[in-house]
Structure 1
Amino acid sequence: MTNLFDPLSLRGITLRNRLAVSPMCQYQATDGVTSDYHLIHYGKFALGGFGLVMVEATGVSPEGRITHGDVGIWGDAHLDGLSRIASSIKKYRAVAGIQLAHAGPKASLLRPWHGNSPVLATPKVAGEQPWQTFGASAIPMGEGWPVPVALDTDGLAKVRADFANAARRALKAGFDVIEIHCAHGFLLNSFLSPLSNKRTDEYGGSLENRMRLPLEIARELRAIWPEDKPLFVRISAVDGDREGWAIEDSVDFARALKELGVDVVDNSSGGFGVFDYPTGYGFQVPFAARVREGAGIKTMAVGLIVDPHQAQAVVANGDADIVAIGHEALNNPNFAFHAEQALGASDPAAPHGHWVPQLGWWLDNRASRLARLGPVAVEDAA
């Protein structure tokens, strides 16, 4: 049986356990440049015992940001801050990863606390102007959203070059893992989904054509990224609307990614259409299991995984190889360390200086926290 605290080797990199911090946007950058906020934010997860710490969706171009507050990697001015983050993560025995992203039709938004809606020409936040968005087709995300420009030949070439240059900078900054963001209605997801891709050229129509741009980028990044470092891809395993991208499409996409040398598929969901699948604790785990079995590739499971025993079950049952913790990690950045104690595991690389005060906290509060959360179970989302 595989356990949550068994190490995992991916090419020349070894994760000390199967727990990862999922990439989560913080919206705290200025012109894409990180600050001490980001250094402390990501460093605390490494101190908390996670095997992999993934930096949030990082814009490969200015127009690829979601908001004005997104982290960027389109220029050398971003390298110093990103290098400090990667170094601090690795100093405390975690693997440093970064998600490379282009928001596509979901770009040019206000930060969530300002409304999470499109930036208007008359700005709600002083000095923050909107910018042109791009997509597979000229289809807005919804009513009141800007109409994206459908990428032409030059636009496609620029996107490929932006991802390639971002990968080179990620390597220079010292990251061990890069993840290509192909989920959540972002640019590459807009090419994959039949709900958003209405093109009639070689990038639209059939599944093979809709996969073409993401696969071109994955192929080029695999050639750039060193042979001894793993490449991840995050997907939306299903669209919200059941008439859109389906789990069978994800299995086919994962097979193609595996052939190109992708090591792990990170399985989220949603992006286009109202979400029409069961939700609850661990609701996306069955997607990771289907992709893992169908494509024969390692997977990462995400989505309302909040308890160490729940995370252990994901790995022990063979549903996924890595468990990514999102909002629960924000609430408890020492989740991995507490999981070690709860499961009676041993992780020699964990920061045991934290042990005495935190173990008592965990034992005293675990029962009350679970009572507040209700029953923890992996629901069947098939």
Structure 2
Amino acid sequence: MTIKKVTASTPAPGVPYYTPAQDPPVGTALDPRADVPTLFTPLTLRGMTLQNRFAVSPMCMYSADDGHLTDFHVVHLGAFALRGAALTIVEATAVTPNGRISPEDSGLWTDSQIAPLKRVVDFVHSQGHKIGVQLAHAGRKASTLSLWHLQTLGPVATPAHGGWPDDLWAPSAIAWDADHPTPNEMTVAQIDELVQRFADAAHRAVQAGVDTIEIHGAHGYLITQFLSPITNHRTDAYGGTFANRTRLLLAIIRAIRAVIPARMPLLLRLSATEWMEHTHTDPQSLSSSSSWDLPQTIQLAALLPDLGVDLLDVSSGGNNPRQQIAVHPYYQVDLAAAIRAAVRAPGGKGGPLAIGAVGMIRDAAMARDVVAQTASVEGEHGLTAKADLVLVGRQFLREPEFVLRAAAELGVAVKLPLQYERAPLRKAQRL
């Protein structure tokens, strides 16, 4: 890589204000000839190249104005790109008003929501990094209150608080829990409408200039509800068999792929298991279709490359309050590793599907090990990657400079923000 000399007079392109161009982008390894961990090597998905393997996981902020992003989101999301995150994914963004998790969620159901998103996109691009948006519908888990209201008002957003508890969509009329409203079973016409709404939102995201789109099929929201036989009791073409329960998701993938540029990567977040295996009557058969589980996720993952999905973002749970999770630092990373191994096994049908890992990635060593390739690099020799990308959520909230701290901890010289070069981060220090 040839590093250009950048002067203070070189403006970043694409923004209506002066900010210096960061060339190369912050978080880029300065000497690619050196043995650097895979964590600080580029990753290319279709026409999008990331300078390192860090991505900001979508995180609800409950701070949008009728689905419109605000200045808060410019500051919140821009902080990660400024400090070296190669990819920032905007929080779950509803494709319909009734698909929001809370009344303050982000949305892309109307054209007026394009410009506020573009402000965030333009700032991230001014830092030389990439940005995506996660498109979602919350289904029966919609119309809830923000986290800080739970203790005083309870979980459900009533009409008095801007909610819509009588207008929840789900595959079947099964409430999330006793203190939640019963959703309406979707008609086939509503399912067709939903697919079109995902495509329309994806088109708006392209107009806003995003680099990638992620479909939210995890955490017990609407797509998960269709995948799981626990929440999907339909007897039509969208319920029963694996093919029927995945039909909606596959239709959404095809609809989005048809309206986004060929060079734009498409990501999918799934709950690899809903952690309800303890309900299976046959302990020898974890793919008995009594719940959504890892074997079915692997079966689905094999279909994704031919549909145009480039990365599977592996999460878990969220579809049933009675889930049982044995939590440990790698409890979700191990799911990602199992899927990656399966789709890349000799004779496997997974094709060139990249895998993202998320959950409890809190320090440099763990982030390094998750994506470490077999190589003769100190600390990596003999290791096989569990994933190709690390998606970090809460640790970025604790430390927006997590990328720079990880570089310092691992002894990797990386590009710093021009404005912050006078204060390089040392090992065990914070910015």
Please, what TM-score do these two structures have when normalized by structure 2? Answer: 0.81
SS in 2 for 1:100: strand
- 1:302–1:325: 8 Å Cα contact kept in structure 2? yes
- 1:231–1:264: 8 Å Cα contact kept in structure 2? yes
Task: State the partner residue of 1:343.
Answer: 410
Task: Give 1:46-195 correspondences, 5 Å limit.
Answer: 46-115=81-150, 117-121=155-159, 123=160, 125=161, 130-195=165-230
Rg larger for: 2
SS in 2 for 1:165: helix
In the TM superposition, structure 1's runs of 4+ consecutive aligned residues that sit over 3 Å from their partners are 127-131, 355-358
- 2:144–2:163: 8 Å Cα contact kept in structure 1? no
Identity between Structure 1 and Structure 2 (%): 40
Deviation of 1:32 after TM superposition, in Å, equals: 0.4
SS in 2 for 1:4: helix
Aligned in 2, Cα 1:228/1:2: closer, same or farther, shift over 3 Å? farther
CA deviation vs aligned residue, 1:187-230 (integer Å, no higher than 9, x gap): 11100011101111111101111001001110111121111110
Task: State the partner residue of 2:45.
Answer: 10
Pair 1:315-2:371 in alignment? yes
Task: State the partner residue of 2:243.
Answer: 208
Amino acid at match of 1:298: A
How many residues align structurally? 361
> Which of 316, 319, 340 is matched with 1:292 structurally?
340
Q: Please give the alpha-carbon distance, in whole angstroms, between the structure 2 residues aligned to 1:44 and 1:110.
A: 26
Pair 1:359-2:425 in alignment? yes
- 1:108–1:131: 8 Å Cα contact kept in structure 2? no
Task: State the partner residue of 2:400.
Answer: 333
Deviation of 1:174 after TM superposition, in Å, equals: 0.3
Q: Which moved more, 1:130-139 or 1:79-88?
A: 130-139
Please, what TM-score do these two structures have when normalized by structure 1? Answer: 0.91
Q: Please give the alpha-carbon distance, in whole angstroms, between the structure 2 residues aligned to 1:120 and 1:109.
A: 8
CA deviation vs aligned residue, 1:83-139 (integer Å, no higher than 9, x gap): 011111111121111000000010011111111611235x3x4x5554510111111
Task: State the partner residue of 2:62.
Answer: 27
Q: Please give the alpha-carbon distance, in whole angstroms, between the structure 1 residues aligned to 2:62 and 2:397.
A: 14
Q: Please give the alpha-carbon distance, in whole angstroms, between the structure 1 residues aligned to 2:177 and 2:329.
A: 28
Pair 1:278-2:326 in alignment? yes
Deviation of 1:352 after TM superposition, in Å, equals: 4.8
Task: State the partner residue of 1:301.
Answer: 357
Deviation of 1:145 after TM superposition, in Å, equals: 1.0
Unaligned runs of at least 5 residues, structure 1:
367-382
Amino acid at match of 1:240: W
SS in 2 for 1:233: strand
Aligned in 2, Cα 1:30/1:130: closer, same or farther, shift over 3 Å? farther
- 1:11–1:230: 8 Å Cα contact kept in structure 2? yes
Amino acid at match of 1:269: S
Deviation of 1:356 after TM superposition, in Å, equals: 4.4
Q: Please give the alpha-carbon distance, in whole angstroms, between the structure 2 residues aligned to 1:293 and 1:363.
A: 34
Pair 1:199-2:272 in alignment? no
Amino acid at match of 2:417: P
Q: Please give the alpha-carbon distance, in whole angstroms, between the structure 2 residues aligned to 1:129 and 1:178.
A: 27
Unaligned runs of at least 5 residues, structure 2:
1-35, 281-290, 345-352, 373-383
- 2:166–2:181: 8 Å Cα contact kept in structure 1? no
